[in-house]
Amino acid sequence: MREIKVAAAQLGPIQKAESRAAVVARMIALMQQAKAEGCPLIVYPELALTTFFPRWYHEDRAEADSWFEAEMPSPATQPLFDAARAMGMAMSFGYAEKTPDGHHFNTSILVDAAGNIVGKYRKIHLPGHVEYDSERSHQHLEKRYFEPGDLGFPVWRTLGGIFGMCICNDRRWPETYREMGLQGVEMIVLGFNTPSVNSQKGAEGLAQRLFHHKLSVQAGAYQNATWVIAVAKAGDEDGHHLMGGTLIVNPDGEIVAESQTEGDELVIHACDLDDTVFGKETIFDFARHRRIEHYGRITAQVGVVLPPED
């Protein structure tokens, strides 16, 4: 048995005017609760340090840099790292990253119990749009403020297992899980900030959005025999509602724990990484069952035609 008691630390709304210090204090309070529950790992959401700022349009792109961290730990987040180190707590959280050479990414990190950053992932599947769109119910300007991630989907050996990360919209794409599944991933941690209404499809409300969220996470977990820890930022941020839906999903694709509120909340479950073994050695044994040459034959038989080059 390789059991890790995981705390999925959902954050309630973060208002535009709320300071980094106030948010970090909330994160530390959740960490203290997780420590009291005997959890060695805590997972926070995407863009955990700020409001979901891509809903706000800055005509001058540089004005958005105030939402970004130029270093990590930053002065504002150092207390979080100090608390984690003092408690012997590993953690993962998302933030807006500005690199020393001026690139901007939607980033998540994995930090070990000694406070060392052991993994970094940059969001690849950026949703939304670049310019202000008056036809939308709300703006979703991730493509304006972020560049697509350039680190791929690596995995890391830590905490006695094989861990991977992804962020929000990545969870909807099967190749996200498969890239890590082919590397033997045993637990994927992901944070998300998902509006409860689609800005381009008003009829797709909260119920359907939660359905698609759960469908994506459960399928990814089952088809790659991995645990998935999906952690929301939720609630009303300055009049813009984010859905909850924090989940812990086991390697059989079953939801074993989920949030009950849209506020700061811990969702806790003892996850045995050995529960991934059966699926990886039977139905999803990629080495035995994925014969690459067969895919080539199928492509030829169905007559796939590639588009002409530009």
How many CB atoms are closer than 10 A to CB 47? 28
Does the annotation mark 39 as catalytic?
Answer: no
- Asked if 124 contacts 141 with a C-beta cutoff of 8 angstroms, the reply is no
The amino acid at residue 138 is: H
Does the annotation mark 168 as catalytic?
Answer: yes
Write down the residue that tokens 């969702």 correspond to.
267
Catalytic residue among 35, 69, 97, 123: 123
d(C-alpha 92, C-alpha 303), whole Å: 44
In the chain, what is the greatest distance between 2 CA atoms, to the nearest angstrom? Answer: 60
- What is the DSSP annotation of 45-79? -TTTTS--GGGS--SSGGGGGGGSBSSSS-TTTHH
Catalytic residue among 39, 142, 166, 168: 168
How many CB atoms are closer than 10 A to CB 74? 16
Give Cα 283 to chain centroid, integer Å: 26
Write down the residue that tokens 């950053």 correspond to.
117
Nearest C-alpha neighbor of 89 from the set 76, 77, 80: 80
Give helix 206-223 / helix 174-181 axis angle, nearest 10°: 20
d(C-alpha 175, C-alpha 181), whole Å: 9
As given in the structure block, the two tokens for residue 46 are 């995407």
Catalytic residue among 46, 97, 186, 237: 46
Does the annotation mark 135 as catalytic?
Answer: no
User: What residues are annotated to the active site?
Assistant: 46, 123, 168
